[in-house]
């Protein structure tokens, strides 16, 4: 038994809705409007990021100390392992500060990638119950990383200074490099946040990808020294933006590491390109998030 008082054909209803001035619900807004709306609601991303840090750390006894303790222990571990297994000759100069910068800066990238990729699927509850531009979710995860990189970068610089590196005016460029890198990380997080929604299996592959990046980016060895006789591979490795960000930070605070104009160009271009592609790519699937 079906009773429908207002039985109308499909065209009839949509025309009726339009005539009454109703708008389609959940329709993906135009890119401009989307960005304006997301910007207007940016407080949500920032608040979520800072609450998350407190919540995650509140469960541990040492709390916020872990933000700096984790990369420090990681650097210590790698330092010990590679100091033992790598022969003296293949270790870059100023090994300790070289490695510390590599590990700390790479953590900024890998955490943004890993958690950014899960930012939609891990927040299904929020995404399914409230309406807001979904881009705020990856934005919150990357912002969380940005908040965390501040104490991490300070710790990094303290360790580097303690290891005997001279403090110069160039140290002031470190936040600049990290700021450019944050834009790059945001773009990457956006791209992977959407990809994981389409292909859940990606979360299994991602740690592998991160590991591969870790070993190929020259965290504990000098790419220039290892690939000295393979200029083609070296050129390829230098195109990896993560390598450029690490190399640029090293160039500012660790002696014996030089910077070129080309590195700055790759760093800025990669950040802008990733950001633009990321925003558009993520926005195009706006209606899709939260459906499964």
Q: Does the footprint of another protein cover residue 85 (CB under 8 A)? A: no
Q: How far is the CB of 139 from another protein (least distance, A)?
A: 13
Residues with Cβ within 8 Å of 220's Cβ and at least 6 positions away in sequence, in order, are 78, 82, 86, 99, 102
276 binds another protein (CB under 8 A): no
208 near another protein (CB under 8 A):
no
- Residue 21: helix, strand or coil by DSSP? coil
**Per CB under 8 A, 195 contacts another protein:** no
* Among the listed residues 85, 88, 261, 292, the single contact to another protein using CB under 8 A: 292
Give CA separation, 292 vs 128, 200, 265, in Å: 10, 11, 40
DSSP string, 129-142: HS-S-TTHHHHHHH
13 lines the binding site for another protein (CB under 8 A): yes
Single out the residue of 241, 199, 196, 194 nearest to residue 217, CA to CA.
241
Residues 55-84 interacting with another protein (rule: CB under 8 A): 55-56, 58-59
Binding segment (CB under 8 A) for another protein, from list 47-55, 155-163, 215-223, 270-278: 47-55
Rounded CA separation 187/123 (Å) = 19
Residue 204 makes contact with another protein by CB under 8 A: no
CB of 147 to another protein, least distance (A): 16
d(CA 289, CA 215): 33
Which residues of this protein are in contact with another protein, per CB under 8 A? 1-8, 10, 12-14, 16-18, 20-27, 41, 43-44, 47-48, 51, 55-56, 58-59, 125-132, 200-201, 287-288, 290-292
């Amino acid at each position: 038994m079906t009773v429908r008082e207002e039985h109308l054909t499909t065209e009839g209803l949509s025309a009726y809705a339009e005539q009454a001035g109703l708008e389609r619900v959940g329709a993906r807004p135009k890119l401009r409007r989307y960005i304006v709306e997301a910007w207007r609601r940016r407080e949500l991303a920032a608040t979520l990021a800072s609450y998350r840090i407190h919540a995650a750390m509140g469960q541990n006894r040492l709390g916020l100390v872990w933000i700096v303790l984790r990369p420090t222990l990681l650097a210590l571990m790698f330092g010990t392992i590679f100091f033992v297994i790598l022969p003296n000759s293949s270790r870059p100069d100023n090994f300790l500060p070289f490695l510390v910068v590599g590990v700390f800066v790479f953590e900024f990238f890998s955490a943004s990638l890993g958690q950014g990729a899960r930012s939609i699927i891990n927040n299904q509850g929020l995404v399914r119950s409230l309406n807001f531009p979904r881009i705020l979710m990856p934005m919150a995860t990357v912002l969380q990383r940005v908040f965390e990189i501040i104490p991490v970068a300070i710790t990094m610089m303290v360790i580097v200074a303690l290891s005997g590196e001279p403090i110069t005016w160039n140290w002031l460029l470190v936040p600049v490099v990290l700021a450019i890198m944050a834009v790059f990380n945001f773009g990457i997080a956006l791209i992977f946040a959407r990809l994981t929604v389409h292909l859940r299996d990606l979360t299994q592959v991602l740690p592998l990808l991160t590991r591969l990046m870790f070993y190929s980016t020259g965290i504990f060895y000098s790419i220039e020294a290892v690939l000295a006789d393979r200029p083609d591979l070296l050129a390829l490795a230098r195109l990896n933006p993560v390598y450029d960000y690490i190399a640029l930070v090293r160039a500012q605070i660790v002696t014996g590491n030089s910077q070129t104009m080309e590195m700055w160009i790759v760093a800025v271009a990669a950040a802008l390109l990733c950001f633009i592609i990321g925003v558009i790519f993520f926005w195009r699937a706006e209606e899709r998030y939260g459906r499964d």
